[in-house]
Structure 1
Amino acid sequence: MAAVAANRLRRRRSMSQINVVPFIDVMLLLLIIFMVTAPLLQQGVEVDLPTADAQPLEESMNQPEPIVVTVTRDGRLLLNQGPQSGVPLEAPELRVAIAELLVDKPGADIFVRGDRFVDYGRVMDAMVSVQAAGGGRVGLLTEPGDSNSQDRP
């Protein structure tokens, strides 16, 4: 009888299985965290750009990131880079900030993103400020559109 019991102990092998339930719980928790935080990480200024049937500009690999001046619907002026990035600026402050950026990035492209419902004069003020700061060429950004679309406020 003792020999039978010893024989049974030898036949039993340890079961080596991985319990994946805690792993699945952790993965679902991470998924939920990323789903909640992803929309919070997006930043920027909401601007309703006009649409135009224009050819997109070609990007060059050796060109620095373009400087973008945004004119919001309520007429605020914002920059996309530098220490004043995302801070509303007045025209004289904008001139100084762009001049500082152009010292670091000579020849950088400068674009103005104007909301389609903002006063045209405010967009022109932004363009004049850019040129006064030393920006020779200033471009306007639009949303791509088809030739049949007519945007009216």
Structure 2
Amino acid sequence: MYVRKKRRMVAEINVVPYIDVMLVLLIIFMVTTPIITQGVKVELPKSKAEPIEQMKDGKTPIVATVDEAGLYYYQKDGVEKGPMNAEQLQAEVMDTLTIEPGTQVILKADGRVDYNAVIHLLNLMKQAGAPAVGLMTEDVESK
């Protein structure tokens, strides 16, 4: 007499399609990331200043930029907004400082920008509530 054996169900997940999808996503991110992380082209003034330390609580600083054309840009956590006018930049900084009080503000100005524009940007940041404002320069030995 023939006794039919019960087949056991296989409880394994086939992961090969998931690996294919992950490789495609990896390629997409590798191609699009350099396109997304483009910055504003400014020629920083050169200085022999010491690099600043990041804040102890891990907050990334706000970078306010003015380019040669007098346009303003805002950057925080790798996200850049702009070009914008002075009032829009001041509002962006105020909003960020309301959410994250005590965040460092760093000014990045093109070396060819009029000194008056840098002072105007400094005053805007102080009016926005920045506790301290730093100036970004390029190292003399980097070029």
1:94-126 deviation line (CA, Å, top 9, x unaligned): 222111110111000000000001111111111
1:71 matched to 2:66? The reply is yes
Specify which of 108, 116, 131 is matched with residue 113 of structure 1.
108
TM (norm. structure 1) is: 0.65
Q: Give 1:38 deviation, angstroms.
A: 6.0
Contact kept? 1:63, 1:108, Cα under 8 Å: no
Counterparts of 1:136 and 1:105, CA distance in 2: 12
Residue 130 (structure 1) aligned with residue 125 (structure 2): yes
Deviations 1:4-46 (A, max 9, x none): xxxxxxxxxxxxxxxxxxxxxxxxxx99xx5x75643431111
- Farther-moved stretch of structure 1 (95-104 vs 55-64): 55-64
- Taking structure 1 as reference, are residues 47 and 131 closer, same or farther at Cα in structure 2, changes over 3 Å only? same
Work out the number of aligned pairs and report it: 116
Partners of 2:66 and 2:73 within 8 A in 1: yes
**Equivalent residue number for residue 102 of structure 1:** 97
Amino acid at match of 1:134: G
Distance in 2 (alpha carbons) for counterparts of 1:98 and 1:44:
18
Select which of 5, 23, 48 maps to 2:43.
48
| Distance change >3 Å, CA 60–CA 135, structure 1 → 2 | closer
**Higher strand residue share:** 2
Unaligned runs of 5+ in 1: 1-29
AA partner of residue 115 (structure 1): D
Give me the TM-score of the superposition, normalised by structure 2: 0.70
- Identity value in percent: 32
Mapped partners of 2:94, 2:55: distance in 1: 23
Residues 54 and 60, structure 2, Cα contact 8 Å, conserved in 1 = no
